[in-house]
Structure 1
Amino acid sequence: MDIENAKVQMRKGILEYCILQIISRGEVYASNMLEELTSAKIMVVEGTLYPLLTRLKNAGFLEYKWVESNAGPPRKYYLLTEKGHTFLNELHETWTDLANSVQQIIQPSNIA
C-alpha cells in the first residue's frame, strides 16, 4: 500500500465535514474555502471542491447567492440551509466519537 494514497483517502473521508464546517461560519466564497482547506493541508486539488459543493447543494445542505463584484463577474457565496446545519451536527457527533475511539486505540490506558 502506498502511504501517499492512504493519506489522500484519509483526507477525502473528512472533506465533506470540513467544507460544511467552514460554510457554517457564514457566507463564504469557494476560493476562500479552497484557501482554508489548502492551508490546513486537507485539500489541494480545486477540481474536487466544486463537484462536492454541487452534491451538497443538490442534497439540500447548502444554498448560494450571487453577489456583485467590483473586480469582475458576480461571485457565488455559499451558506448552510437548516437541513445542512442538522447534517453538520450529526457529522460533528460522529467525528467526535470517531476521534475519541481512535485516540483510545492510539493511547490506551494502562488499566488492567
Structure 2
Amino acid sequence: MEAGINRPPITIPPSGNAKHSLPDSYTFVPAVALKTTAVAVPESSVSEVTSCLDEAITQERRWIEDALPHLETKLTCGDAIAWAAYHASVQPPVEDPPALHALLPLFCELSATPAMI
C-alpha cells in the first residue's frame, strides 16, 4: 500500500535574527460585508435512535466486561482498559492510506467572520 508522497521539508535560510514575513497573498484578507441578515436553516427530520442506542449500550457492556478483569491483575503493555483504547482496538483496520497534510497560514481574524469564510 502506498502511504503517500514524501515531500522535502520547507527550510528558511538562516540569516541571523532577521524576521521572515509571509507574502501579502498569505496575510491580506479583503474587507467584505453581508448583504442580508436573514438566516435560512434547512428543515430536517429526526428519526428514532433506539436501534443505534441499543448497539451502543451493547458495545459499552463489552468494554466493561473486558476491562473489569484487568483491574484485578497487573496490567501489561497490550491491555486496553481505557474507553478510547478499547474501542480503538476493536475497530476494523483502515484500508485508506494516510492523508497528506500541510500547515496552513495563520490569520489574526476570527475564522467565523465573513472575510475568512
> What TM-score bracket applies, with the shorter chain setting the length?
under 0.3
Considering Cα pairs closer than 8 Å and 6+ residues apart, tell me whether 1 or 2 has the greater RCO: 2
- TM-score of the two chains, using structure 2 as the length reference: 0.25
The structure richer in strand per residue is 1
The structure richer in helix per residue is 1
